[in-house]
Amino acid sequence: MRILEGIVTTIDPSGTANIAPMGPKVDDAMQRFVLRPFQTSQTYKNLKQHGEGVLHVTDDVEMLARAAIGKLEEPPTLRPAEAVQGFVITDACRWYEFRVESIDDRQPRTEIEAEVVGMGRGRDFFGFNRAMHACLEAAILATRVGILPAEEVLEQIDRLATPIVKTAGDPERRAFALLSAYIAEELGKEAS
Ligand SMILES: Cc1cc2nc3c(=O)[nH]c(=O)nc-3n(C[C@H](O)[C@H](O)[C@H](O)COP(=O)(O)O)c2cc1C
């Protein structure tokens, strides 16, 4: 088992889609996986009420960054999933429609076992790129402001700027700028 950093769509009781980066534990077969959402997340709340969703594999780090910090001003195009009640991000490289099998709420990071009941492929994955990985790390950092010490967050963001300068395209540059600004703002609030 290893972690796959993806994007999960779920729906709330009114049927509205929620889009959030999540890192489930997966194996190569991808017939089932284990999601580990914090109980404070909307993804957790939605899956408790409606145990179906869609896990997406994408190289769109700008969307991932925006979803991580709740700034999806222009949400991605969605279409209804086929095997579950939920939504597929149309631009994703691959997606896995899943049904919740069990929920273990005993720890703050709940373990949710999911069975894959449908999958699809969209477009090719771009491939490795250091700037994309830096954006992924920066997005995780952004969701941990207030949990990690401020100096650690700043030191890590500083280090991540190098692969951005060396390897980024416009989407990665935009994602990193957005995340850096968000982190600075959140740390400012923390300090005041
Ligand atoms: C790459 C990546 C992986 C993440 N994995 C998880 C995870 O496994 N569980 C979790 O609770 N949050 C995870 N997060 C943080 C959530 O995406 C973030 O808290 C988000 O705001 C939750 O959205 P929601 O409240 O709409 O569900 C991850 C963030 C990133 C950038």
Q: Provide the Cα torsion 110, 111, 113, 114; round to 10°.
A: 50
Predicted local confidence at residue 80, as pLDDT: 98
Alpha-carbon gap, residue 10 to 178, rounded angstroms:
24
Could you say which residues of the chain have pLDDT below 70? none
Q: Using DSSP, state whether 145 is helix, strand or coil.
A: strand
**pLDDT at res. 192:** 74
pLDDT digits (tens, 9 = 90+) for 166-183: 999 999 999 999 999 999
pLDDT of residue 168: 98
> Are 136 and 22 within 8 A, CB to CB?
no
- Residues 64 and 139: beta-carbon distance below 8 Å: yes
* Ligand 1 closest atom vs CA 35: 8
| CA separation for the pair 141, 83 (Å, rounded) | 34
Query: Quick count: other Cβ atoms within 10 Å of Cβ 79?
Result: 9
pLDDT at res. 189: 87
- The secondary structure of residue 75, as a DSSP letter, is P
Question: Tell me, what amino acid is at 78?
Answer: L
Nearest-atom number in ligand 1 for the CA of 40 is 25
pLDDT recorded at residue 68: 97
Residue from 19, 41, 72 to probe ligand 1 pocket by mutation (most atoms less than 8 Å from CB):
41
Give the pLDDT score at 114. Answer: 98
- Give residue 123's pLDDT: 98
Q: How far is the CA of 20 from the centre of ligand 1 (A)?
A: 6
pLDDT for the residue numbered 107: 83
